[in-house]
Amino acid sequence: MQAITLLGSTGSIGTHALAVISRHPQRYRVAALSAHTRTDTLVQQCLQYAPSYAVLSDPTEAERARRRLRDAGCECTVLCGQDGLRQVATLPEVDVVIAGIVGAAGLQSGLAAVRAGKRVLLANKEALVVAGEIFMAAVRQHGATLLPLDSEHNAIHQALPRDFAGDLDAVGVRRIVLTASGGPFRLLPTEALEAVTAEQACAHPNWVMGRKISVDSATMMNKGLEVIEAHWLFGAKEARIGVVVHPQSIVHSMVEYRDGSTIAQLGQPDMCTPIAYALAHPERIDAGVEAVDLTRVGRLDFHAPDPERFPCLRLAYAALREGGTAPAVLNAANEVAVERFLSGEIRFPSIARLTEDVLGRVASSDVTSLETVLAADSLAREHAQRWSVQAVTRSVGLPAYSSSSA
């Protein structure tokens, strides 16, 4: 039986992972769970799965969970913050770490799991976007196993030969192609994007996801981040990573071979499938997902993404070309921009405007250490915060901050 640490257990990835784990109690047990602020949900999960450890971000919430679990007779040690996350990611008894924390906040715990030589199921794409060079070097150095949970990269993993060792040329691959649904605004007139709401942006037509990743899907920044992630996972240069819009979300990604073959992975738009694949690899287990009935689907459409509608995709490719800390700057600026959009402080198209402005202000530098990456992340967030404040002050007619404002 394999012991699992599930980082981000109350989010979309976490709840889908628990659904798969629940179908195979003879194979898997939950050793640790973590959440950011959803204390009540985490407590219920602890009562159901009886982990040895639980982690919350806030000390006050951690104490509240500790009392509730103690009163319920649940012997679970409750930890707090990044130290707690790193501890449960490196527990000696843990075989598998599912890294499902959204954003740069999941970087350090995911890296800790890799350095502990764990089998890491990575849903936190930002870990590779922000620190891909460091992350992949650690995988090689410490003998960790890294399997992607993003449906697109998981699909590519399935479509590559089993003996793939990071060299696309060696296995005859011409390029890899990521599919994108196009999100909820794929057909909306571009001039109407100024008026879209957070609720509309979060209403993904195919996938059930958290609010941040849903907005990223609507801007296609999510696909841009996946392009950068694919570069690190599969050793693919920018020119060998394509993106096509596929509204049905049935083909999850494709691999083109030099002999003219294209191998695609198809399935329902359900995260339980890639989670089950990564958990059991190289075996196949029941994910609780029905196979696709192509006679009911009827048609599969593909077209090139509109660069005017989706400028974030262009920005991600540009950051990948720039290299160094540019992807970390891109990710940090986007995280701030999405947060401001969700809170109603900026409009939807300003997500791309803010991100592009910050990319132009924060110079890229070589990635020499994790501290270098974190410093770039911090500086980008400072600039992004100033930009969003300026946007608010302009909208209400107040004097704006200058670029040198503190």
Q: How many Å apart are CA 237 and CA 235, to the nearest integer?
A: 7
Which of 397, 311, 308, 395 minimizes the C-alpha distance to 353? 311
- Signed CA dihedral, 359, 243, 223, 95: sign only: negative
User: In this structure, what DSSP letter does residue 280 have?
Assistant: H
Q: Which domains does the chain have, with CATH numbers?
A: 2-148 (3.40.50.720), 156-297 (no CATH), 323-395 (1.10.1740.10)
List pLDDT tens digits, range 255-313. 999 999 999 999 999 999 999 999 999 999 999 999 999 999 999 999 999 998 999 99
Closest CA to 185 of 175, 172, 195, 171: 195
**pTM greater than 0.85 (yes/no):** yes
Using omega within 30 degrees of 0 as the cis cutoff, is the peptide bond preceding 282 cis? yes
pLDDT digits (tens, 9 = 90+) for 159-211: 999 989 899 999 999 999 999 998 888 888 888 999 998 888 888 777 667 78
